[in-house]
Chains A and B, each alone.
Chain A
C-alpha cells in the first residue's frame, strides 16, 4: 500500500455531463475525506466518512454532488450536471481515527468546458 490513490488524475468534461471520481485510501485508515481546491486557495472540506458511514457534509456540497463509500474502503464522488464552477482539484485524504497524519491523494483535476 503506497498511499492514497485517486483516479482519474485529470478529467475534462462538457457542461451538463456527469462525472465520477474514485479514491482508494490507505487500507487501515477508517476515515476518508473529500476536499476541493481551486487555484490559489487552500483545500476546502466537502464530506467525511467513517468506515462506510457518511457523517458530515459541507454546505459546499450541493445536491448535484454525491459521495459513497460502500464497503468502508474505496470511495466515489459523483458530480451530476457539471457546471463551469465545478472546475477544481478534488482531493481525497485518509487517516486512522482522526489521530492526525492525514494523507492526501494526488487529486483529480476537473475541467468543465
Chain B
C-alpha cells in the first residue's frame, strides 16, 4: 500500500524566514496531495492541496510543489509568522476506490519571534 514519508520531524525558523517541509510517497497512482495544519487539540485543517496534473500551486504565503517523477512534494511557507507554529501533515491518496488519505508522520514547526 501507499507509504508517505515526511521530513523533518521538527523545524524551527526565525519569524520572517521561510520554512520547507518535504514528503515522498510510494504509490505512483496517487493523484491528490493535501497539506494539513493541526494545532494542539484541534482538527487537521486543510491549508493547500495539489493534484497530480499540476506541478505547483500557490496561495498567498503558502505554496506546494509536486514532482511526480521523483514522487515527492513539498510545502513552502514564506514570511513566517508566530501563528504558523503548529504540526503540519502531508498526505497522499491511496490506490483504489476509497481514495483514502495516507498521512506522513508530521512536522512540528516552531516560529521564533
Contact = CB atoms under 8 A, between A and B. Distances in A.
Interface string A36-49: 00001111110010
B71 interface: no
25 contacts: A31-B99, A33-B101, A42-B103, A42-B104, A43-B44, A43-B101, A44-B103, A45-B100, A48-B98, A48-B100, A55-B97, A91-B43, A93-B101, A95-B99, A98-B93, A100-B32, A100-B51, A101-B46, A102-B46, A103-B46, A104-B43, A105-B43, A106-B42, A106-B43, A107-B43
Contacts of B97: 50, 55-56
A56 B96 contact: yes
B106 A40 contact: yes
Q: DSSP class of A's interface residues: helix, strand, loop or mixed? A: strand
A93 B101 CA distance: 10
A57 B61 CA distance: 37
Contacts of A102: 34, 46, 101
Contact of B49 (A31, A41, A100, A104): A100
B98 A41 contact: no
B99 A42 contact: no
Contact of B98 (A35, A44, A56, A107): A56
